[in-house]
Structure 1
């Protein structure tokens, strides 16, 4: 076994010693069949931002928009390439491209290899770098030692492809935080969340894929690729990761994944608290302890408007990541069907 101690409040081992998908195990065939009953109109909503938004790198200096380039054919750009140059009798014209893509730049999934912790999993008094279910940094999640190395980043365990292989379909549940609190900056605690859910008649059941609508992604769309960093970081709701009752609700609710249209789901950095040792407590709980994948920067506003107009909060959600072996995150192109 990879660990002797497991973190307090974690579910390590509950789905098996070698589990790599966490609470996606709750998306059983019966849960998916029940979720399909939410399809009544056959209408579909794309929940992804265009992948070149937010624009620039104002939200995160280390994440850049995608760069599209043509591939090469015979040393020439493969863009509007006339095959007659190689085969005089042919009239075909070919375009082919490649992309340099930062996987967590826009609408995205955080994989379980995205956030770990220094934790004494061996019980020897020495903390080591570990991730969900005891998988190890440097052994299972590896990368270059310095900026000059050509070693690739690779997760041989907990890679995003494990999420893709599940299929990721189930019942989505929308919680409209913007509808209750507007676009002012607010760190939402347990009581705040419960008030919104009660007022809108929202319930969350085991296996549900919970979506938090804050209006943040819609603000990005409105900014048209030139984001105002200060305005964005001073706007909209985020979850208060220092609220212990909120963390307990995430654990006890049985939700399978947690999704938001904002930058990090939770308030970042988290509010200062004596003795606190993590900057992202919801990331710690979800990715490190419970195996709950996090979706960020999804474009939820059009779907939320439709659901509110219909007096609904539930829908069928299809949301696999790219099946990219070894990646710690992935762009998301989710589709909601109502």
Structure 2
């Protein structure tokens, strides 16, 4: 019998609740019944693209490690394969490639994006682990050498980095489609930087008559992606880091509500869903406590930098908060995140 990966799970986690080898977490709650509930919301047949253009925000002011995409033609027999012709044929051909930082723009975080250091066996030694006890160095493997990471003149064509567990392809294979529920924070807090705690979130939901049920996707409109669009790929760095609402990841009551709500996933139009870095906490703790709670402890995927303003405006004008959401990531094996072009249908 294979030894279990863990005998001691983090407090407040759901490790093992969906099985010892589960790799999709709370997406298990986005089942056939939840898909049908989502389909029932698509009564008008109006669709909304919830993705920014993938070359936004522009520059690397949000995250210096993430760069805009590079799109280039491929080669055909030693020539540029764009507006290319084939001798003796009438075809005109274009073919290209892309170098993508997978979490530069509208994205999903895979469950292996953020882990934690925790004593999973009770022997007093902490280990680098991820959701459901999958281990760094065994299940999520990174290269040892810098020339096998990043982009540069010595870039190798293949990397030894891979997530043999918890990669984004697991969510893609399951499918992300169901009922989305909008909470319109921008309508209540505007575009000023606002740290939203449990009490504030509950007041907004009560005022707008929003109900979130098990298996729903919670979608948070802050207006941040619209602010980015309005900067036209020339963002003001101070504005990038000081605009719009973010969740307070240090608020224990808010984290407990996320657990109790049964949400299958959370998506927002801001940079990290939560305020980053988080407000100081007591003792040694995560700089991304909501990421820790969602990705690491409870298998709740996070979507970031979605473009939600047109959908939010339509829903408010029509007295609605629910819609069909279809948001599959790329089925890219071993990736820790993925661009996504979500579609909402009302």
**Bin of the TM-score, shorter chain as denominator length:** over 0.9
Report the 3-state secondary structure (helix = DSSP H, G, I; strand = E; otherwise coil) of the residue aligned with 1:205: coil
The count of corresponding residues between Structure 1 and Structure 2 is: 334
TM-score, length-scaled by structure 1:
0.97
- CA offsets 1:168-218 (integer angstroms, 9 cap, x no match): 100000000010010111110000000100000000000010110000000
Instruction: Identify which of 300, 315, 340 aligns with 1:332.
Output: 340
Deviation for aligned residue 1:232: 1.8
Residue in structure 2 matched with residue 7 of structure 1 by the alignment: 10
Residue in structure 2 matched with residue 57 of structure 1 by the alignment: 60
TM-score, length-scaled by structure 2:
0.95
Cα distance between partner residues in 1 of 2:131 and 2:172: 17
Cα distance between partner residues in 2 of 1:142 and 1:206: 33
Cα distance between partner residues in 2 of 1:304 and 1:54: 20
- CA offsets 1:37-77 (integer angstroms, 9 cap, x no match): 10110000000000000011111100001100111111111
Cα distance between partner residues in 2 of 1:224 and 1:177: 23
Report the 3-state secondary structure (helix = DSSP H, G, I; strand = E; otherwise coil) of the residue aligned with 1:288: helix
Report the 3-state secondary structure (helix = DSSP H, G, I; strand = E; otherwise coil) of the residue aligned with 1:148: helix
Instruction: Identify which of 182, 203, 212 aligns with 1:195.
Output: 203
Residues 1:273 and 2:281 aligned together:
yes
Residue in structure 1 matched with residue 115 of structure 2 by the alignment: 116
- CA offsets 1:216-244 (integer angstroms, 9 cap, x no match): 00000000011111012111000001111
Deviation for aligned residue 1:276: 4.5
Cα distance between partner residues in 2 of 1:283 and 1:34: 27
Cα distance between partner residues in 2 of 1:145 and 1:44: 45
Cα distance between partner residues in 2 of 1:101 and 1:169: 24
Residue in structure 1 matched with residue 99 of structure 2 by the alignment: 100
Report the 3-state secondary structure (helix = DSSP H, G, I; strand = E; otherwise coil) of the residue aligned with 1:80: strand
Superposed, which structure 2 residues align to 1:230-245 within 5 Å?
230-245=238-253
Q: Which stretches of structure 1, 4 residues or longer, exceed 4 Å deviation after superposition?
A: none
Note the aligned Cα RMSD (angstroms): 0.8
Residues 1:175 and 2:183 aligned together:
yes
Deviation for aligned residue 1:152: 3.0
In structure 1, list runs of 5 or more residues that go unmatched: none
Residue in structure 1 matched with residue 26 of structure 2 by the alignment: 23
Report the 3-state secondary structure (helix = DSSP H, G, I; strand = E; otherwise coil) of the residue aligned with 1:129: strand
Residue in structure 1 matched with residue 71 of structure 2 by the alignment: 68
Instruction: Identify which of 46, 51, 54 aligns with 2:49.
Output: 46
Residue in structure 1 matched with residue 263 of structure 2 by the alignment: 255
Cα distance between partner residues in 2 of 1:78 and 1:67: 16
- CA offsets 1:138-172 (integer angstroms, 9 cap, x no match): 11111111312354321010000000011110000
Instruction: Identify which of 299, 302, 305 aligns with 1:291.
Output: 299
